[in-house]
Amino acid sequence: MDQKFWLGKRILVTGGTGLLGSCLVGQLVGSGAEVTILSFDRQGKSKVFTDGLEDKINIVYGDVSDYKLVSSLLGFYKVNFIFHLAARAVVVDGQQSPLDVFETNIRGTWNLLEAARSNKSSLESIVVASSEKSYGSQNVQFYDENLPLLGRYPYDVSKSCADLIGLSFFSTYSLPVAIARFSNIFGPGDQNFSRLVPGTIQSLLKNEAPVIKSDGKSIKSLLYVKDAVEGLLLLAENKQSSSGQAFNFAAKETFSVKQIVEKIISTFGSNLEPVVKAETISEHYTPLLSSRKAESSLNWSPKYNLIDGLEEAIPWYREHFGETASFLPGSSDYPIHPIKTTTIEGKPLSVSDLPVVLFCGGSGARLREETHNKPKPMVDVGGKPLLWHVIKIYRHYGFRKFILTLGHKGEYVKEYFSKDSSLSDCDINMVDTGESTPTGGRLLKCAQYIDTDLFMCNYGDGVSDLNVLDVLESHRRQSGLVGTITGVRVPHKWGIISFSQDGKLKSYSKGHLMNEPINAGFMVFSRQFLEYLDLNMMVEDPFNRLGSEGKLAVHFHNGYFFAVDTYRDLEELNQTWENKPPWKVWLD
């Protein structure tokens, strides 16, 4: 790697939080490059986050198969180099869900390349990461780059197609595309525990004997992730000679599956023995790549053998998962789902960019026992303000920008959230909107802080097990909408009586659901909604007009919702908190 070459270069890495992507990002950041990553979700234990790279790069959460997002991203950042690593990379995924694999691996590739063709004024090189699987099954000992691409199974076909698409963009449009075909990659940061290396380490950390479902005789070549990254960088640095070509990158060593497991056990320092069940058929073929072309043309060769790589990888798994870890991929945060076309001045947005306006200026007249010295949303639930619970719901789904509309006892809100360290990764703006301003007026007074086409809105006094991303997606699926509100059916708070014609009671019951849904307060609006308001309006005052214009939709939630209006409500919510509260979707 030529570190001087990368200084100040503007780089896009798709799939930047994955095993290969996070290692590549670390190398580029260390060389002074300006790195942007496109990632479908947030993997909390990705090396991007465990190595503290998050604040040194631009992160856009989105789907590479979304052309508008990718195109606007390339246009905004004026990218010099693209490393296209985003893919569904598990073979079994292709067999179980071929459409998902084709969508990401094939459509995602042509979307990226077409977007690059339309934004190529600053572009120097595109490196597309591929796999040994693109060759399919052929009756040769070693696969070199002169062989045809004969993928037959869904994942293999997706890689064959992606490679051919990349080369076609070079041949047809002179787009500087190079293909990197790798053997199996391993290393720290791989959170897919269905794979051989991380899966074996998982078992050892749990003090369980690793299980080999096959006969263990299949031969594999395992390439350490840093050697793979070196191959990617060399292709980009040698863009003049590498464009329009494919290069194989593989380790020099080969081992049987059983031998690999035994070496992991030995390096880990365990006395456990692998259990060979021989109950499944091995993969359809065992490709062995020849790296001679990369060795001669790029002066590339692997620097790590299997043991070297394991000695770096195993301590990382010990540190970040530990002996008693649950081994669920990701962090306590819910994956941050993409917002496909929302922008600020042309910059693509993720959910974390969308503001959430929370009303917290009301006096709560029916809760005077608690609200004489604090606003209604600050009443205590389980030792925390009700508003804190609402923020945690949104935060769990990836939202990080919050606007609090202060009114009654606003200083109480300011004092609390200025000291609460549990929301330190959130951007919380507190806006004084007046003691008795209606909610619509409060929203208008926050308009300067709403800098996106869409924003979320909530009354701040109710909790739910609703996935708020579903409301957002429901809104986005319909064109021409100004807003979407969430409808829920709630139990009657009063007893329901049934009586005969002569006035005698037939039945009395409590807890029946109301026939008509109510507005749960989990809302999404476009900025156009502000044009329907004035300072003397409640936020719901324009709803009938919007409904008559066909611009307001309802997302129905058939799950838990509870709002606090009275002291009895507050008591009930606190009781629920003590026994598996349905709205506590966050894990920390």
Place of tokens 């099954």: 137
The answer to the question of residue 372 being in a domain is yes
The answer to the question of residue 565 being in a domain is yes
Answer yes or no: do 386 and 290 share one domain. no
Answer yes or no: do 193 and 311 share one domain. yes
What pLDDT sits at residue 176? 97
10 — phi, psi (to 5°)? -95, 120
Distance from the Cα of residue 325 to its chain's centroid: 21
The answer to the question of residue 32 being in a domain is yes
Answer yes or no: do 233 and 362 share one domain. no
Q: Give the span between the Cα atoms of 535 and 446, in whole angstroms.
A: 11
Point out the residues that are catalytic.
155
Other residues' Cβ atoms within 10 Å of the Cβ of residue 75: 17
What pLDDT sits at residue 192? 86
Three-point CA angle 494, 513, 486, nearest 5°: 115
Answer yes or no: do 527 and 411 share one domain. yes
The answer to the question of residue 269 being in a domain is yes
Reference 24, options 60, 4, 53; nearest CA is 53
555 — phi, psi (to 5°)? -100, 115
Place of tokens 């540190």: 319
Is the distance from CB of 163 to CB of 134 less than 8 angstroms? yes
What pLDDT sits at residue 511? 46
Three-state SS string over 522-569 comes to: CEEEEHHHHHHCCCCCCCCCCHHHHHHCCCEEEEECCCCEEECCCHHH
What pLDDT sits at residue 326? 40
Signed CA dihedral, 447, 448, 454, 457: sign only: negative
Could you say which of 320, 340, 362 is where a domain stops? Answer: 320
The answer to the question of residue 560 being in a domain is yes
What pLDDT sits at residue 60? 81
Answer yes or no: do 120 and 252 share one domain. yes
Answer yes or no: do 254 and 400 share one domain. no
The answer to the question of residue 220 being in a domain is yes
Reference 532, options 450, 440, 458, 452; nearest CA is 440
Answer yes or no: do 377 and 314 share one domain. no
Q: Give the span between the Cα atoms of 466 and 486, in whole angstroms.
A: 9
Residue 265's H or E segment, with its range, is helix 257-268
* Domain CATH for 288: 3.40.50.720
Q: Give the span between the Cα atoms of 292 and 252, in whole angstroms.
A: 11
Q: Give the span between the Cα atoms of 461 and 61, in whole angstroms.
A: 30
The answer to the question of residue 225 being in a domain is yes
Question: What contacts 245, CB < 8 A, 6 or more positions away?
Answer: 145, 178, 179
Answer yes or no: do 403 and 294 share one domain. no
Place of tokens 């990254």: 229
Crossing angle of helices 108-118/67-77, nearest 10°? 40
CA distances from residue 559 to 3, 554, 562 in whole angstroms, order as listed: 54, 15, 10
CA distances from residue 585 to 243, 467, 560 in whole angstroms, order as listed: 48, 9, 12
- How many domains are contained in the chain? 2
Answer yes or no: do 237 and 362 share one domain. no
CA distances from residue 22 to 83, 85, 132, 434 in whole angstroms, order as listed: 12, 10, 21, 47
Answer yes or no: do 155 and 259 share one domain. yes
Three-point CA angle 340, 344, 349, nearest 5°: 35
* Domain CATH for 563: 3.90.550.10
CA distances from residue 393 to 41, 181, 390, 566 in whole angstroms, order as listed: 17, 42, 5, 22
Answer yes or no: do 148 and 223 share one domain. yes
Answer yes or no: do 307 and 427 share one domain. no
Is the distance from CB of 352 to CB of 400 less than 8 angstroms? yes
What pLDDT sits at residue 510? 53
Is the distance from CB of 256 to CB of 219 less than 8 angstroms? yes
To the nearest 10°, report the CA torsion of 567, 569, 573, 576. Answer: 120
The answer to the question of residue 333 being in a domain is no
Other residues' Cβ atoms within 10 Å of the Cβ of residue 506: 8
- Report the SS3 class of residue 171: helix
Reference 572, options 488, 487, 463; nearest CA is 463
Sequential pLDDT tens for the chain (588 residues):
788 999 999 999 999 999 999 999 999 999 999 999 998 765 557 888 888 888 888 888 778 888 878 888 888 888 999 999 999 876 554 466 688 889 889 999 999 999 999 988 889 999 999 999 999 988 888 899 999 999 998 999 999 999 999 999 999 999 999 999 999 999 999 988 889 999 999 999 989 999 998 888 888 999 999 999 999 999 999 999 999 999 999 999 999 999 999 999 999 999 999 999 887 655 544 668 999 999 999 999 999 999 999 999 999 999 888 754 443 333 333 333 444 444 444 455 568 889 999 999 887 666 777 777 788 999 999 999 999 999 999 998 889 999 999 999 999 999 999 888 889 889 999 999 998 899 999 999 999 999 888 999 999 999 999 989 889 888 887 889 999 999 998 775 555 566 677 776 666 555 444 557 889 999 999 999 999 999 999 999 999 999 999 999 999 998 999 999 888 899 999 999 998 899 998 876
Is the distance from CB of 472 to CB of 370 less than 8 angstroms? no
To the nearest 10°, report the CA torsion of 443, 448, 454, 459. Answer: -20
Rg (CA), the chain: 28
Domain enclosing residue 378, as ranges: 354-490+516-577
